[in-house]
Amino acid sequence: MAPELYRIKYADRADELLLALGKFISYVRSGPVFSLLPNALQDLSARDASEVTEWESRIDRCLHDTLPMNATARFWLSEIDEVFKAARHRLDELVRNDAPPAAEPGTTVH
């Protein structure tokens, strides 16, 4: 996952990040491992920042549930969790960087 994770962690724009995350999801979905993952992940997607946030929470819950999973499924679930956490973190950074600077107290903005 190193190339995908790198692209996500260092994306310059949200659309670039979502494209890399979409490619990662396609890769996971196309392999046989996807059938080993919990049913809660069968609709995994990331079309926008809010969906990334929603899925990051759902993946985290799956990771902490005591569902019986073999080592391969647990490994992939951990990988997916890491990628979505990185995506959410980077999206938060991008949003903060795009926000206009706050006005100083006592000044007016024209």
46, 23 in Cβ contact below 8 A?
A: no
User: What letter represents residue 24's amino acid?
Assistant: F
Which structural domain, as residue segments, surrounds residue 16?
Answer: 2-92
Q: Does residue 27 form part of some domain? A: yes
26-51 pLDDT, tens digit each: 999 998 888 989 999 999 999 999 99
- Among 49, 59, 65, residue whose Cα is nearest residue 16: 49
Residue 54 DSSP class: H
Q: What is the pTM of this model?
A: 0.84
Q: Using pLDDT thresholds of 50, 70 and 90, give the confidence band for residue 107.
A: low
101 part of a folded domain = no
Q: Is residue 107 part of a domain?
A: no
Number of domains in the chain: 1
Residue 71 lies in a domain: yes
Distances (CA, A) of 19 to 12, 22, 65, 75, 91: 12, 5, 29, 23, 13
Per-residue pLDDT at 103 exceeds 60: no
